[in-house]
Amino acid sequence: MEKKVLSLLESKGYKCEKNVRILGSEFDIVGHKKGGILRSDEWIFVECKNKPRVVPSDFKKFLGNFELFCKKEKLERERVQAVFYTTGLFDVMVKKQASEFANIKLKRISLKY
């Protein structure tokens, strides 16, 4: 699953790293795209879960890791896109929690090629 998401992000111009470790936490994918003269650099933080249902504890961990990444990289959380991919479904509470953040997206992905 991570390989498919990585390929998708790279096709959008991101330079990505898989399984990035910072301060004892592992991040599935971190992507960076250099900005132009008028645009700032773009960062994307990605979690991938190949499971039938993403529950609130999964989202809480994702959010904590996202906060840690932004702090470590000295980035404002609002300026980093975060995407949580799953092959399954998102619990209703996860959808509600994610809706409170304009830069966090929940996406389903198929592993069929």
Number of domains in the chain: 1
Query: What is the Cα–Cα distance from 89 to 23, expressed in whole angstroms?
Result: 30
Please report, for the domain that includes residue 17, its CATH number: 3.40.1350.10
Does 12 fall in a domain? yes
Residue 103 pLDDT > 60, yes or no?
A: yes
- 33-88 pLDDT, tens digit each: 987 555 678 899 999 999 999 999 999 999 999 999 898 888 888 889 999 999 99
What range does the domain containing 16 cover? 2-33+41-108
Local structure of 13: helix, strand or coil: coil
pLDDT at 110: 87
Does 16 fall in a domain? yes
Does 113 fall in a domain? no
> 83: how many CB neighbours lie within 10 A of its CB?
21
- CA distances to 28, 46, 95 from 25, rounded to whole Å, are 10, 13, 24
Torsion of CA 33, 106, 28, 67, to 10 degrees: 80
